[in-house]
Amino acid sequence: MAANLQVQLANQRDGMPEAGDFHVVEAPIPRPAPGQMLVRTVYLSLDPYVRKAIRGDHPGHKALVEGDVIYGRSVCRVVRSHDDSYKVGDYLVAETGWRQHAAIGPEKVVQRVDPSAGPLSAAIGALGMPGLTAWGSVEHLSLPSLGETLVVSAAAGPVGGCVGQLAKLRGARVVGIAGSPEKCDLVTKTYGFDECINYKEADWEEKLKTACPAGVDVYHDNVGGALLVDMAKHLSLYGRVVMCGRPADYHSSKFHGVGLGPFIGRRAKLYGLVVYDYEHDLERYLRLASAWMREGKLKIKEDRADRLENAPAHFLKLMHGENIGKSIVAVGPEKA
Amino acid sequence: MAANLQVQLANQRDGMPEAGDFHVVEAPIPRPAPGQMLVRTVYLSLDPYVRKAIRGDHPGHKALVEGDVIYGRSVCRVVRSHDDSYKVGDYLVAETGWRQHAAIGPEKVVQRVDPSAGPLSAAIGALGMPGLTAWGSVEHLSLPSLGETLVVSAAAGPVGGCVGQLAKLRGARVVGIAGSPEKCDLVTKTYGFDECINYKEADWEEKLKTACPAGVDVYHDNVGGALLVDMAKHLSLYGRVVMCGRPADYHSSKFHGVGLGPFIGRRAKLYGLVVYDYEHDLERYLRLASAWMREGKLKIKEDRADRLENAPAHFLKLMHGENIGKSIVAVGPEKA
């Protein structure tokens, strides 16, 4: 572990990334400056937003140039600390980038991790920002209630899976949209949604109508682009839409057209969601979610790769929608 | 007045209509069937939605074919009645189409008109559906409040003018967007908005920023298309958008692209508005608006043509945005 592997950008591309756009290199383990700490990456989180952050199209992230380390958050462990608030052995979620070791200041810390709250890796899933995103959607914006039907796209993913499970806890009927029979199996059998529609089947809209006979009261959109438009006609009157992600638009700054007319006809209410708005509510969410997880009411599914060298290939798998569950790279051991 | 002029569709077109698409013909005065009444058109209302109704792209309106009378509402006077609820001499707003006389059933009546509430023609403007649209926007959806800034497009029109004046009554700062210096004069000098931006000037976005130094808290959109997208970046955090009209899309069923990403970043809330939802609140609105009009707090401006024969040319003027104020055709005398 004396070497410090990291993944750098090799090529800034407009469009779907390729393996050659990444570069795995060895670098020395950095020395933390005064006020900083040295952390060791345990689980690296792979997320769709990283694609647009690389392009400089995400708040607080400037476009990377060749040789820059790829943006990323991870569950990490404090190895050395020049900051009295953080002790050696503490677990954090932090902006480490794709590296085995990082010297970071406290401004890079996203959240502290209580290892007794659940599986350590869940801190970048249901017990972290993806879970909080779902919490903001369901508890702060759309408020699905008894007798209502919620539909969520990218339902097999960490945000979609939590949105649906939280809506079930609120008593709503929940229908997922996902991109393969395997994902739909996960959504209904593990997450416990009422139904899941494979949008790659030609008659998926017919199936959605059958699954939502009274229309869609809440649609949580993780996709953007054409699917968001298609969903307008399935909304019930006064339906709510949470606009959360738009990976359909992440590869490029090119404009993706969406016509708003059908939303007017449905008297829809559309809400833009940015997870940072709900950080003040993270502690309350984690207390509840941790209990639900222990009680088996909130399930998670991970798609893990081992070793940082495999991060680029695992990220491309995510970009192509071939992951089933939260995409994670196990970079180093939890303890030791 | 024995002949009964009417305007028929001569040509169904995809795109901006032309004079030759309309046909003025003489027809006999119809005889009302049992349960119907004969009404005489006093003021014909010309509205952007008529363009898409002709194409069959408006709720409850099927596409017209050659020889059909053009859709339209008017202030009309009951001449004969086979319905006990309506007496000869009553004024109504009704779906008469573009004709001097119409035989209509009670299902075509939009509202009864109290001639003492204000100018008779205002029943198709500030004291009618355009006013109620503004009421739904401001009082039911966006609720602009003290210290907030509301921006409204098509500000010189009947909906835009009312939106801004109602928001002023609520204590908001109000900035209009309109398409000529003459319209901007109307908006600031007659309607009393704080400022008005001519969007045909190259630096209009700079001027908008100056006029809204803390951002736009509420944007009432009467236009759709590119302007709606442009406005996303001027919204303050959690800004509200009322999506009301989209004349940019009315001429054609072709898709007009709007990217929703910037709205997510602003955490915007977008509301689709359809005026029919607020009909239950019409009486209360009319009571208030009639008083405001008498007190000089709610001003109207009309762009009038005389005689039904001039309706097509006056409609094209509206389609080209050359009208200043509510577009009306004075078809017949108020009394007699």
Which has more confidence, B248 or A25?
A25
Give residue for tokens 């969007």: B199
Half-sphere exposure of A140 toward its Cβ, with a 13 Å CA cutoff? 22
Separation between Cα atoms, residue B103 and residue A182, nearest integer Å: 62
Same domain, A11 and A119: yes
Q: Give pLDDT tens digits for B253-300.
A: 444 455 678 899 899 999 999 999 999 999 999 999 999 999 999 999
Same domain, A185 and A218: yes
- CATH number for the domain harbouring residue B114: 3.90.180.10
Other CB atoms within a 10 A radius of the CB of residue A144 amount to 25
* Predicted model pTM: 0.83
Whether the CB of A67 is below 8 Å from some CB of chain B: the reply is no
Same domain, A77 and A154: no
Same domain, A109 and A133: no
Structure token digits, residue A150: 């919620």
CA dihedral B208, B212, B214, B215 (to 10 degrees): -50
Whether residue A264 and residue B277 make contact (CB cut-off 8 A), yes or no, is no
Total domains in chain B come to 2
Q: Give pLDDT tens digits for A218-247.
A: 999 998 878 888 899 999 999 999 999 776
Separation between Cα atoms, residue B154 and residue B223, nearest integer Å: 7
pLDDT at A60 over 90: no
Q: Say which amino acid occupies B69.
A: V
- CATH number for the domain harbouring residue A232: 3.40.50.720
By three-state DSSP, how is residue B92 classified? strand
B41 inside domain: yes
Q: Give pLDDT tens digits for B104-117.
A: 999 999 999 999 99
Residue A261: per-residue pLDDT? 81
Q: Distances from the Cα of A105 to the Cαs of A35, A42, A90, A328, B127, in angstroms?
A: 6, 18, 14, 24, 62
Same domain, A25 and A90: yes
B95 inside domain: yes
Same domain, B114 and B133: no
- The residues with which B178 forms a beta bridge, in sequence order, are B198
- Which of B61, B270, B273, B278 is the best substitution to test chain A (most A C-beta atoms within 10 A)? B270
Separation between Cα atoms, residue B66 and residue B136, nearest integer Å: 36
Other CB atoms within a 10 A radius of the CB of residue B138 amount to 25
- Please give the average per-residue pLDDT across A143-168, as a whole number: 96
pLDDT at A256 over 50: no
Residue A154: per-residue pLDDT? 94
Contact residues, chain A, for B277 at CB < 8 Å: 267
N-term to C-term CA, chain A? 12
The ipTM value here is 0.74
Residue B103: which domain range?
3-124+301-330
Whether the CB of A256 is below 8 Å from some CB of chain B: the reply is yes
pLDDT-based confidence at residue A249 (cuts at 50, 70, 90): low
Smallest CA–CA distance from B254 into chain A, residue: A259
B133 inside domain: yes
Whether residue B268 and residue A272 make contact (CB cut-off 8 A), yes or no, is yes
Handedness of CA A317, A321, A322, A326 (dihedral sign): positive
Residue B2: per-residue pLDDT? 59
Ramachandran category for residue A4: left, alpha or beta (phi over 0 → left; psi -120 to 50 → alpha): beta
Whether the CB of A228 is below 8 Å from some CB of chain B: the reply is yes
SS3 of chain A: CCEEEEEEECCCCCCCCCHHHEEEEEEECCCCCCCCEEEEEEEEECCCHHHHHHCCCECCECCCCCCCECCCEEEEEEEEECCCCCCCCCEEEEECCCECEEEECHHHEEEEECHHHCCHHHHHCCCCHHHHHHHHHHHHHHCCCCCCEEEEECCCCHHHHHHHHHHHHCCCEEEEEECCHHHHHHHHHHCCCCEEEECCCCCHHHHHHHHCCCCEEEEEECCCHHHHHHHHCCEEEEEEEEECCCHHHCCCCCCCCCCCHHHHHCCCEEEECCHHHHHHHHHHHHHHHHHHHHCCCCCCCEEEEECHHHHHHHHHHHHCCCCCCEEEEECCCCCC
A290 inside domain: no
B158 inside domain: yes
Same domain, A91 and A161: no
Closest CA to A327 of A108, A102, A51, A107: A51
Q: Which residues fall within 8 angstroms of residue A54, CB to CB, at 6 or more apart? A: A9, A12, A17, A61, A63, A64, A70, A71
Structure token digits, residue B291: 């008083």
Rg (alpha carbons) of chain A, rounded to whole number: 20
- The residues with which A196 forms a beta bridge, in sequence order, are A176
Same domain, B141 and B120: no
Separation between Cα atoms, residue B232 and residue B143, nearest integer Å: 19
B285 inside domain: no
Whether residue B271 and residue A269 make contact (CB cut-off 8 A), yes or no, is yes
Same domain, B178 and B82: no
Same domain, A136 and A221: yes
B222 inside domain: yes
Same domain, A316 and A186: no
- Please give the average per-residue pLDDT across B215-233, as a whole number: 91
Same domain, A105 and A198: no
> Which domain-ending residue is among B261, B277, B293?
B277
Whether the CB of A268 is below 8 Å from some CB of chain B: the reply is yes
A50 inside domain: yes
